[in-house]
Amino acid sequence: MKKKFLAGVALVGALALVTTGCGNSSDDAAGGGGGDKTIKVGFAQTGSESGWRSANTESMKKAFTKDKGFDLVFNAADNDPAAQIAAVRSFISQGVDAIVIAPIVSDGWDDVLNEAKTAKIPVVLEDRTTSSADDLYASWVGDDFKKEGETAGKWAAEQYGGKATNMVVLEGTTGSAPANDRAAGFGDAVKGTQIKTIASQTGDFTRDGGKKVMEGFLQKYGVKGINLVFAHNDDMALGAIEAIEAAGGKPGTDINIVSIDGVHDGMQALVDGKINYIVECNPLLGDQAADLVKKVLAGTTVEKKNFATDGAFTQEQAKAVIATRAY
């Protein structure tokens, strides 16, 4: 009887070893080899408000795949800051290994970031930034929004700054880092020129928002009363084009347009002469974000700020690259 019992224990032990071994093999496969544990990451996206955002989401999903060692928990907050913070709290309660956030607005993050810190879950900011203290997040990767605004403003100053120019501005989401920084950069660049801002209003980075705001500007000033549009992103610029055409104007000629993003539809409008200049904001941040997450979890020292590479395009430059654009 004792021999049978010992034999049974030995069999159970052998089965346990086999089961454990299968578990390790599964983890190895998910982690791309090397015995690395699959990293569970919660990603809190802003929403799907623009072509840029769609490209950004796709880039993140491609970077945080199982075959690259990740288990991605994705949430898009439909541009609702409260919903986004709730999503981050959900990630914390799920016990994810790391959290990536593209903050809808800059303010209001202190409490939930402190909660993540208490739970020892590192946070990487992607695309946008927060006004929170630097020690509440591990790193940030994105584009230099102020430099984008400066680049757009310098071109506008060179082209239109020497003569009286009435400009309207289609702002991004109020309180967001790109809206704040692009406005500041552009304003610095056109300071001292004859470009005058006669109206400025948020279109929330959406095509429909840009169209509605531009319709209001046109009702107030008419096509002849507006010389230049500065749009904080391409989608709002594309909405403005629709409004200008509906009002009987010719975008790019009667009213010049300077925009930021470089998504395909915007670049096509530039090629078609309906937009005059575009400063790129690279949305393909997934690989850099994934690399930062792995380094932070491994205890590797990383830079606090990590910038993507952006370009800028005239019509001729857009014609030369549009066929090979990845977004």
What one-character DSSP code corresponds to residue 108?
S
Handedness of CA 187, 192, 193, 195 (dihedral sign): positive
Contact 246, 21 (CB under 8 A): no
Beta strands 277-280 and 312-313 are antiparallel
CATH of domain 145-281: 3.40.50.2300
Question: pLDDT value at position 36?
Answer: 66
What one-character DSSP code corresponds to residue 102?
-
> Does residue 254 have a pLDDT over 70?
yes
Spatial CA neighbour of 65 closest among 24, 29, 35: 29
DSSP codes, 203-242: -TT-HHHHHHHHHHHHHHH-GGG--EEEESSHHHHHHHHH
Q: How many residues does the chain have?
A: 327
Helix (H, G, I), strand (E, B), or coil: what is residue 75? Answer: strand
Q: What is the pLDDT of residues 15-54, one digit of tens each?
A: 333 332 322 222 333 333 334 699 999 999 999 989 899 9
Q: Cα separation of 125 and 99, whole Å?
A: 8
pTM of the entire structure? 0.83
Average pLDDT, the chain: 90
Pick 20 or 59 by higher pLDDT.
59
> Does residue 121 have a pLDDT over 60?
yes
Contact 280, 310 (CB under 8 A): yes
pLDDT > 70: percent of the chain: 89
Give the residue extent of every domain in the chain: 39-143+283-308, 145-281
Class of domain 39-143+283-308: alpha beta
Contact 28, 21 (CB under 8 A): no
Tokens 């003569």 found at: 163
* Per-residue tokens: 257: 């347009």
Scanning the chain, the segments in alpha helix (DSSP H) are 2-30, 51-63, 81-94, 110-118, 145-160, 177-190, 207-221, 234-246, 264-271, 286-297, 315-321
pLDDT > 90: percent of the chain: 87
> Does residue 82 have a pLDDT over 50?
yes
Q: Cα separation of 118 and 297, whole Å?
A: 16
Q: What is the pLDDT of residues 279-299, one digit of tens each?
A: 999 999 999 999 999 999 999
Torsion-angle region of 273 (φ positive above 0: left; ψ -120 to 50: alpha; else: beta): left
The vertex-236 CA angle with 253 and 319, nearest 5°, equals 55
Question: pLDDT value at position 215?
Answer: 98
Q: What is the pLDDT of residues 210-229, one digit of tens each?
A: 999 999 999 999 999 999 99
Compute the half-sphere exposure of residue 10: CA atoms within 13 Å on the CB side of its CA: 6
